[in-house]
Amino acid sequence: MQDAELDIIFLKPELHNKLWGGRRLETDYGYDLPDGPVGECWAISAHPHGDCKVVGGVWDGWRLSELWNEHRELFGDEEGDEFPLLVKILDAQDDLSIQVHPDDAYAHEHENGSLGKRECWYILDAKEGDRIVVGQRAKSREEFAQLVEEGRWDDLLNRVPIQTGDFFQVEPGTVHAILGGTLVLETQESSDVTYRVYDFDRRQPDGSLRELHMEQSLDVIDFGMKAPESGAVTEPEIDGVTTLVTTPSYTVDRIVVRPDAPVAYAQPWSFLNASVVEGSGTVCAGKHIHNVTKGTHFIAPAGCGDLALEGDMMLIVSHV
């Protein structure tokens, strides 16, 4: 491929109104929001429900799904019908529903061949006293259903205190909810399959209640899963890089670039997703140097070369 075709690929986020959303994606990240509560920025996505457009460069105006389908060499000739990952920023002004996601096998069978949904959360902002729901205490399908029927949420749900910089891996089958006041970067499989257990009896703008999915939830909950007590990151930082998690679906790293400590980040992967979540600086791949700032999202394609990062900023990056 030509050198220009191997340049970093910058994406325009897709923005989604949500009942529980707010306006922080505008005030904190400078995005031009539609009217109403906006809960989700789909920052790197080729999913049909939010297919990001490329901004600038030789691929300007292309959808990410089009690049995936027509120029698979940019992604190291990865196999699969769908771009495998989806990166979001979530602004939870109110509590999200109590929910659970299926694994790949269940989703493929019951959701028209969809991927399941393994995901992880990096806490971008949280106030003192904030909590998040990760896990539950029921030991069986029957016990879970009974506690839900009786509304005994304090007995059922595992609420974890959080602070900015915490990290949680949320496996399929984990009951979970992001609670109000929290700003989160989410890396996940490219799936939009969510089973709601409870939605606080909230009304949508038309007055209706959102659909619940109790039977599917009971099918997929992992009743043997150990619930976490903390999201504190204990992995070491090495030359500015902390590996937050490695799973069968993705690896996620945090990169901290300081004015006196630039970071050289190897890019041997089929592709690399990157989101600047704090500060600003420059990213250089091969002969190409770009200015980036908080709220910038990009893909480093296969063959672009290692990344040289300078400035004062933090990035969350992921690859398969």
DSSP conformation letters of the chain: --GGGGS-EEEEPEEEEEEEEESHHHHTT---PPSS-EEEEEEE-EETTEEPEE-SSTTTT-BHHHHHHH-GGGGTT--SSS--EEEEEEEESSPPPEEE---HHHHHHHTTT-----EEEEEEE--TT-EEEEEE--SSHHHHHHHHHTT-HHHHEEEEE--TT-EEEE-TT--EEPPTTEEEEEEEES----EEEE-TTPBPTTSPBPPP-HHHHHHH--TTPPPPS-----SPPBTTEEEEEE-SS-EEEEEEEBTTB-EEE---SSEEEEEEEEEEEEEEETTEEEEEETT-EEEEETTS--EEEEEEEEEEEEE-
**Active-site annotation holder among 72, 137, 152, 196:** 196
pLDDT for the residue 314: 98
Model confidence pLDDT, tens digit, residues 144-177: 999 999 999 999 999 999 999 999 999 999 999 9
Model confidence pLDDT, tens digit, residues 261-270: 999 999 999 9
196 is catalytic: yes
Model confidence pLDDT, tens digit, residues 243-265: 999 999 999 999 999 999 999 99
Question: Any idea which of 85-94, 147-156, 158-167, 203-212 has the lowest mean pLDDT?
Answer: 203-212
Q: Work out the pLDDT band at 1, boundaries 50, 70, 90.
A: low
* Mean pLDDT estimate for the chain: 96
Domains of the chain: 12-220 (2.60.120.10), 241-319 (2.60.120.10)
Model confidence pLDDT, tens digit, residues 277-320: 999 999 999 889 999 999 999 999 999 999 999 999 999 999 99
